[in-house]
Amino acid sequence: SFQIKVEDKFEPFIITGVAENPPSNSSFQFSMLSSFSYFANTAFGKLSLNRWVDQFPFLTYVQLTAGSKLPFDNKLLSDFRKKYFPNEDQTPSTYKLEPLVDIHTNIRFLFNKIPPIDPLSIWILLSIAGGILLIACINFTTLALGRSANRSKEVGVRKVIGGTRKTIVVQFFIESMVLTVLATAIGLILARLLLPFFNNLSGRTLHFSFTQFPQLSYIILAVILIVGVLSGSYPSLMLSRFKPAHVLKTKVRLGGANFFTESLVTLQFAISAGLVISAVIIIQQLHYMQSKHPGFNKENVVVVNAMEISGSKNIYHLFKQSLALHPQITGIASAENGLGEGGGTNIAGYDHNGKSLSIHQYYVDNDYIPVLDMQILTGRNFIESIAKDTVTSVIINEALMNALGFSPQNAVGQVLKGYGPAKDAPIVIGVVKNFNFQSISKPVEPQMFHQFGGSQPYRFFVRIKPGNPSPAIAGIQKAWTKAAFGYPLQFSFLDEDLDRFNKSEVRLSYIVGWAGSISIFLACLGLLGLAALAVLNRTKEIGIRKVLGATLTTILALISKDFLRLVVLAFLIATP
């Protein structure tokens, strides 16, 4: 047994079992599980259990009957709330049942323990892998055609002694499949060895396990069949067409400077160029995203996490008082949520003049906007001494102002009818300039700020002076120990919280860059092989040119000009 501090006192808990660690890619992550009924009996639990707004968000799982056609919309839950909790604040909010299988890839789902995977990133990675695989197949095909001179007499002899075209096609297909199986085996070994490097590059913890992912066997088998057929089909069909009398008398070759081979070389370099250009574009976009001003001052702000503490409002007041005279602290504010956490307490649905709007709601104090150095375009900030500011007054951003059809001249004083009970309809007292509370790659969405009423502040924002943060952090630690004795200080820097939004783009740029380098390397290997075959096919011509006085530079230019033309053409195709 052991003790956990719950609501300012230590409660005993008994370990009744030990569970395996959940898979790293699972949306269900935990270090300890306890009964929900225990939490429901705490003061904070009683306050939160039947609240649909303003309190700690619970993930609720609903098991449907087999074959249920229950719609995944908000009407069911909205009616439920009105029926069973009629006296609760009916601020319009979007309630939605989300299929469990979709949570892992739903980038708008805010409460995952691990960041969701963007489906677009999955398709990008699959496309990159497919492109590299296609380059390898093209290499095999072009080199097989280039080696046709060495196999033509073999085909001729086989046909003379009774071999049919079908048996020759089967032979070349078998050779292609054997090479593909060997290459796949080597690839699997390399994948297992390089997986830690990829995990570090992608920020994920992937496992190479046939037991955890049994479908992997079928995928590998499908890849072997597709690659084997794709690589061996054209060479086998072309080589099997040779006429015995012709190939035994003359030297036959399919590789070299013909339209099909040139098209394949151009295609593989176009794919490689596309990957390299994409990596350059992503890096430029990242530089823009990191240098663009987000609309507020994110530097030198310490974010203190009070999410797991009951009575955080009282703790905040003590915390603020303790830091009021600290020489390294220039401002303190609080909010219900952090800026780097996806956006707002909840997303409210609001119908305005027949147009449905999704609004990110923030519950903040009157110091929030000035401490974060946000710009008020028109109107005023919240004033703590005005009681109405905690009930009906709201501040909106430019995006919401424009969506509602207001202007800076007439926005202040507007009443948002239909947004909650009529007697508490929000009144706009100010408009704040748009700021990026999500990734800068996304457009700024409508936002609404409420001043704290019954809500609890779970994030404390402490602006510190530029320079060495250590004295300020020491002061924050001392104030926290005094205000929240027994609870460990959990803090982060706001700029780092916001930089997490760009991490996926940064990692994607690394992956695309490495993929581009690998594809260029493979394409150059194929080009080198074709160049060697071209030299072999033009041995007599090169010898005559050297006898006539041609220099090495001239011969290199002769061999290279055709391939250089293809590479330039590939880059021209890939650039748009």
Task: State both tokens at 290.
Answer: 């990191």
Distances (CA, A) of 84 to 44, 72, 107: 21, 20, 31
Q: Which H or E element spans position 167?
A: helix 165-202
Q: Which H or E element spans position 301?
A: strand 301-305
Q: What is the DSSP letter of 396?
A: E
Directed axis angle between helix 552-574 and helix 503-537, to 10°? 140
Residue 548 CB neighbour total at 10 angstroms: 7
3-state secondary structure of 550: coil
Per the CB < 8 A criterion, the answer to whether 377 and 431 are in contact is yes
Per the CB < 8 A criterion, the answer to whether 309 and 529 are in contact is no
Task: State both tokens at 531.
Answer: 């160049």
Task: State both tokens at 124.
Answer: 């990008």
Instruction: Give me the half-sphere count of Cα atoms (radius 13 Å) on the Cβ side of residue 395.
Output: 28
* DSSP secondary structure, 474-540, as one string: HHHHHHHHHHSTTSPP-EEEHHHHHHGGGHHHHHHHHHHHHHHHHHHHHHHHHHHHHHHHHHHHTHH
Task: State both tokens at 289.
Answer: 């995203």
Each domain of the chain, given as residue ranges in start order, spans: 2-86, 119-288+504-574, 301-489
Identify the pLDDT of residue 149: 58
CA dist., res. 516 & res. 528, Å (int): 18
Q: Which of 503, 426, 420, 528 is nearest to 200 (CA)?
A: 503
pLDDT, tens digit only, all 576 positions of the chain = 788 777 667 778 889 999 988 877 777 788 888 887 777 777 666 666 666 555 555 677 888 777 776 655 556 666 776 777 666 655 555 566 777 777 777 666 655 556 667 777 788 888 888 888 888 888 777 777 666 656 667 777 777 777 777 887 888 888 888 888 998 899 889 988 888 888 888 777 777 777 777 788 888 898 888 888 877 777 777 767 766 666 556 655 555 456 777 787 788 888 888 878 887 887 787 777 777 788 899 999 999 988 777 677 788 999 999 998 899 999 999 998 877 554 445 666 677 777 778 888 888 999 999 999 999 999 999 998 888 888 889 999 999 999 999 999 999 999 988 776 656 788 999 999 999 877 777 788 899 999 987 677 889 999 999 999 999 999 999 999 998 877 889 999 998 888 776 777 778 778 888 887 888 888 887 777 777 767 767 778 888 888 888 888 888 888 778 778 877 888 888 777
Residues 6+ apart with CB under 8 A from 367: 331, 332, 333, 334
| One-letter identity of residue 570 | A
Per the CB < 8 A criterion, the answer to whether 103 and 112 are in contact is yes
Predicted TM-score of the model (pTM)? 0.69
CA dist., res. 239 & res. 145, Å (int): 8
Residue 290 CB neighbour total at 10 angstroms: 12
Residue 350 CB neighbour total at 10 angstroms: 23
Identify the pLDDT of residue 343: 45
Per the CB < 8 A criterion, the answer to whether 316 and 460 are in contact is yes
Residues 6+ apart with CB under 8 A from 73: 96, 97
CA dist., res. 275 & res. 269, Å (int): 10
